[in-house]
Structure 1
Amino acid sequence: MTWIKEHKLIFTSILVCVICLGFLGVIVVDMIDQKAVSSSPVASKEDSTSKSKNNQKSESTASETITDNPFGSNSSSLTEDDVLNYMHGMSHQKVEAEEKWLHYEMTNDRIQFLIGVVESDRYEKSDLYLDILNRWAEGDFSKADKDHNAIWNLQGGTIGKATGVLSTEEEKQYLEDHKGSIQ
């Protein structure tokens, strides 16, 4: 009988040790996986991106920092053509023109986003873009037709030259008329 009790005690002790070693093994493997993930280039980029976004949210500057693209694209990195298209499409809300194909609602978030993009990237016509965008950011659309035509000319426009600036009522009507096509 004592032999059975002794073996039972040994068996139980071995079983407890195996279970403890199993838990310890899981913990060690998890720690190794976490270390491997945090040192991988993809994870480092994601970590630095999230840290960068947190820093951007906490910093307050005159022009807002670049964050998510308010035009719906997944990228905050834009080509010069992208900047031109966004500015051109937004200007349509403010100008008289025979033809308007691009329709982007002009919002302060979008204007600030484009200012941040243009300031952080050197485009051929950065000075022109910033002149226009900063004026728009201040609510000055008195030259919106000239702004539109400057952008339109850079894009090689042939149809749809702006001929004037819309009144407040005309702008409201434009927004109403293009409700489904404005992005």
Structure 2
Amino acid sequence: MVTLLGGGSIKTYFKWAVIAIAVVVAYGGVLLGVIKIFSFNEKSVEVTSTTVQFKDNPTKEQLAVINVDFNSEDKINQSEVSSKADIYNTIHQMANTKIIAEDGQIWGLKAMTKTRVESVQNAVKDLGIEDERIIQMLDRWAKQDFSQCVEEHNYIWSKYLGGTIGKAIKLR
């Protein structure tokens, strides 16, 4: 067995070198993740959603979701439409992009896009939701008619979500 300076073997030094490299790689991955989370570039906004509550002044990221073009490419997470509760929540968060709340509080945003509206419409059919107001609401949204979003928001918010904070009072 070969011993090195300090009395340790090559095997021991190799083991510690591997551990040190693994720690450096792990810290680097965490650092890159943190940088990605905190570096927001409006030109590279991926149309998704945000569930962060805001009052009165939305952030740049929230405004990017609110102001997204209806025909933008969108990636829908299947969990947004996998159950009736998910559908009601998704509809509510989509409506949130079009309204102003009486107390200034909005809880959750999902971009109002053609892809998301169609995905929710399909899920409503698949799950057998027969609420005519929801079906008509989604039909209007598919035609980019958001003129009734205050009433539509408040309907979903109160009937299905037990809303107490964030009642819509006007369109954005």
TM-score, normalisation: structure 2: 0.52
Render the CA deviation track for 1:18-54: whole Å, top value 9, x for unaligned: xxxxxxxxxxxxxxxxxxxxxxxxxxxxxxxxxxxxx
Render the CA deviation track for 1:85-140: whole Å, top value 9, x for unaligned: 101111111001121111111100000111111112212x5322211110101111
Q: Aligned partners of 2:152 and 2:91: how far apart in 1?
A: 9
- 2:119 is the counterpart of 1:110: no
Q: Which runs of 5+ in 2 are unaligned?
A: 1-73
Q: Aligned partners of 2:93 and 2:80: how far apart in 1?
A: 18
TM-score, normalisation: structure 1: 0.49
2:85 to 81, 98, 114: 81
Q: Aligned partners of 1:76 and 1:96: how far apart in 2?
A: 23
2:100 maps to: 96
- 2:152 is the counterpart of 1:136: no
How far off its partner does 1:77 sit?
A: 5.9
Q: Aligned partners of 1:77 and 1:149: how far apart in 2?
A: 20
| Residues 163 and 120 of structure 1, relative CA distance in 2, 3 Å threshold | same
Q: Aligned partners of 2:81 and 2:146: how far apart in 1?
A: 26
How far off its partner does 1:145 sit?
A: 0.5
- 2:156 is the counterpart of 1:148: no
Q: Which has the larger radius of gyration?
A: 1
1:161 maps to: 167
Pairwise CA RMSD of aligned residues? 1.9
Render the CA deviation track for 1:61-91: whole Å, top value 9, x for unaligned: xxxxxxxx94323x58621110011011111
| Residues 102 and 76 of structure 1, relative CA distance in 2, 3 Å threshold | closer
What is the percentage of aligned positions where both structures have the same residue? 31
Counterparts of residues 11-22 of structure 1 (less than 5 Å): none
Give yes or no for contact 1:76–1:117 (8 Å, CA) kept in 2: no
1:127 maps to: 132
Equivalent AA in structure 2 for residue 146 of structure 1? E
1:42 maps to: none
2:166 aligns to what SS in structure 1?
A: coil
